Amino acid sequence: MNLKDLPKIELHCHLDGSIRPETIISIAKKDGIEIPTENIDEIREYVMAPISCKSLDEYLDRFTLPNKVMQTKENLKRVAYELLEDASKDNVKYIEIRFAPSLHTQKGLSFGEIIESVLEGMKEGEEKFPIKSNLILSCMRTMSVEEAFKVVEAGKEYLNKGVVAVDLAASEYEDFAHKYKEVIEKAREYGYRVTIHAGETGIGKNVLDAIKILKAERIGHGIYAKDSQEAYEILKNSHVTIEMCPTSNVQTKGVTSYESHPLKEFFKDGIKVILSTDNMTVSNTTLTNEHDLMSKAQNMSIEDYEKMYLNGVNASFASEEIKEELRKYI
Ligand SMILES: O=c1[nH]cnc2c1ncn2[C@H]1C[C@H](O)[C@@H](CO)O1
Ligand SMILES: [Zn+2]
């Protein structure tokens, strides 16, 4: 099967982690930003996590450089536009991009300006390429609850204008859900949909908490869900969908190999799973590549692919009208 030509749905893709390495150099030169090297191969080394990466925390170090050049309206817009172009080249028909507005205030931009710039880049990308998109606002678990409230408040006016959901990202620690319960509840009241990074690094109970306490409709990674029998049962019997990112999991040592990744096991148990890139640059991958690696490592068939595509359409935060369009591709 020619995976590249197949239509794709991408629901878990970080903007900063998907910046083109060439763009880091180009922006740094344009704006006089100091970067460690202007050699493209060396920049790649800086931003791409190696397979020998030891943990999620080491993986997350790779985001410092991308964020250094994503501090103006023009640059945020450019990175978003280029991501749509790159995804479209991979035959992605619909993408939900996520990013953390709090990481883009180093030069004084307001959250409103930050969100608007990214939305503008996405809009231009949609006009130019055959792809539709929406935006997810990530709150970092390293930040205070007050900061998370500010992000949710700032994004409110862009709901139904490109912003669709809220997420919690960054380092994962036990019991994080309680800390952010009120802010996620407030976001839901406003009309945000909810997806949460949980069960990425070994804490299955966090998946249960994300579903029960935060009412997550989707879980980012979720590979440790089986460690909580209750979470696993809920997943089997609900529409909560797991956004799986195999290469990222191999890099962060969530799994030891593509072969031992729980994708097929979850899939066979009737859990709604989809494949995603997480970070096209930091994980040096594409959605075609993720499907290719997993179809080889776990013998996934074209029928499995179609099922996952439809899981993606159903779990997306797109309008019913767009979902209908997306179903026609397969
Ligand atoms: O896989 C991930 N798990 C947790 N946090 C992540 C992952 N990939 C990226 N992030 C963080 C680092 C980025 O700077 C931030 C916003 O995109 O989200
Ligand atoms: Zn992620």
pLDDT tens for 65-110 read 999 999 999 999 999 999 999 999 999 999 999 999 999 999 999 9
**CATH code assigned at 191:** 3.20.20.140
On whether the CB atoms of residues 273 and 308 are closer than 8 A, the answer is: yes
Q: Which atom of ligand 1 is nearest to the CA of 248?
A: 1
Stretch 123-144: mean pLDDT: 98
pLDDT-derived band at 27, boundaries 50, 70, 90: very high
Integer Cα distance of 259 and 62 in angstroms: 26
Count of H helices and E strands in the chain?
Answer: 16, 8
**Rounded to a whole number, what is the distance in angstroms from the first to the last CA of the chain?**
14
C-alpha 14 – ligand 2 centre gap (Å): 6
Whether 326 is in a domain gets the answer no
> What is the sign, positive or negative, of the torsion defined by CA atoms of 207, 210, 215, 216?
negative
Whether 329 is in a domain gets the answer no
On whether the CB atoms of residues 28 and 35 are closer than 8 A, the answer is: yes
Whether 140 is in a domain gets the answer yes
CB atoms within 10 A of CB 21: 20
C-alpha 324 – ligand 1 centre gap (Å): 30
| Coil, helix or strand at residue 322 | helix
Whether 324 is in a domain gets the answer no
Active site residues: 200
Question: What does the pLDDT look like over 273-291, one tens digit per residue?
Answer: 999 999 999 999 999 999 9
The residue nearest atom 1 of ligand 1, judged by CA position, is: 278
Task: For residue 226, give the nearest of 173, 194, 271 by alpha carbon.
Answer: 271
On whether the CB atoms of residues 317 and 165 are closer than 8 A, the answer is: yes
Whether 204 is in a domain gets the answer yes
Report the C-alpha dihedral over residues 26, 28, 32, 33, rounded to 10 degrees.
Answer: 180
Burial 153-167 (b: 16+ CB within 10 A, else e): ebbeebbeebbbbbb
Q: Which of 11, 55, 60, 200 to mutate to test the pocket of ligand 1 (most atoms within 8 A of CB)?
A: 60
State the DSSP code for 101.
G
Question: What does the pLDDT look like over 52-61, one tens digit per residue?
Answer: 899 999 999 9
Q: Which atom of ligand 1 is nearest to the CA of 67?
A: 14
Question: What does the pLDDT look like over 200-241, one tens digit per residue?
Answer: 999 999 999 999 999 999 999 999 999 999 999 999 999 999
What residues are neighbours of ligand 2 (ion), with CB under 5 Å?
Answer: 278
Strand-pair partners of 167: 138
Structural domain span for residue 147: 3-319
Count of alpha carbons within 13 Å of 262, Cβ hemisphere only? 22
Whether 111 is in a domain gets the answer yes
Ligand nearest to the CA of 254: 1
pLDDT surpassing 80 at residue 1: no
Q: What are the contacts of 284-290 at 24+ separation with CB within 8 A?
A: 284/44, 284/48, 284/49, 284/247, 285/247, 286/86, 286/90, 287/8, 287/10, 287/87, 287/90, 287/92, 288/3, 288/4, 288/8, 288/90, 288/91, 289/247, 290/245, 290/246, 290/247
pLDDT in the model for residue 152: 98
Distances (CA, A) of 116 to 81, 106, 111, 131, 157: 13, 17, 8, 19, 10
Ligand 1 neighbours, Cβ below 6 Å, are 14, 16-17, 56, 60, 63, 98-100, 103, 138, 169-170, 197, 200, 248, 278-279
- The total domain count for the chain is 1
pTM of the model: 0.98
What is the Cα 7 distance to its own chain's centre? Answer: 18
Stretch 125-141: mean pLDDT: 98
C-alpha Rg value of the chain to the nearest Å: 18
State the DSSP code for 49.
P
- Annotation: binding site: 12, 14, 16, 197, 278
Average pLDDT, the chain: 98
State the DSSP code for 95.
E
Stretch 249-265: mean pLDDT: 97
Question: In the chain, pLDDT over 90 holds for what percent of residues?
Answer: 99
pLDDT in the model for residue 206: 98
pLDDT-derived band at 51, boundaries 50, 70, 90: confident
Whether 330 is in a domain gets the answer no
Ramachandran region of residue 222, left (φ > 0), alpha (ψ -120 to 50) or beta? left
Whether 314 is in a domain gets the answer yes
pLDDT in the model for residue 244: 98
Q: Which atom of ligand 1 is nearest to the CA of 56?
A: 3
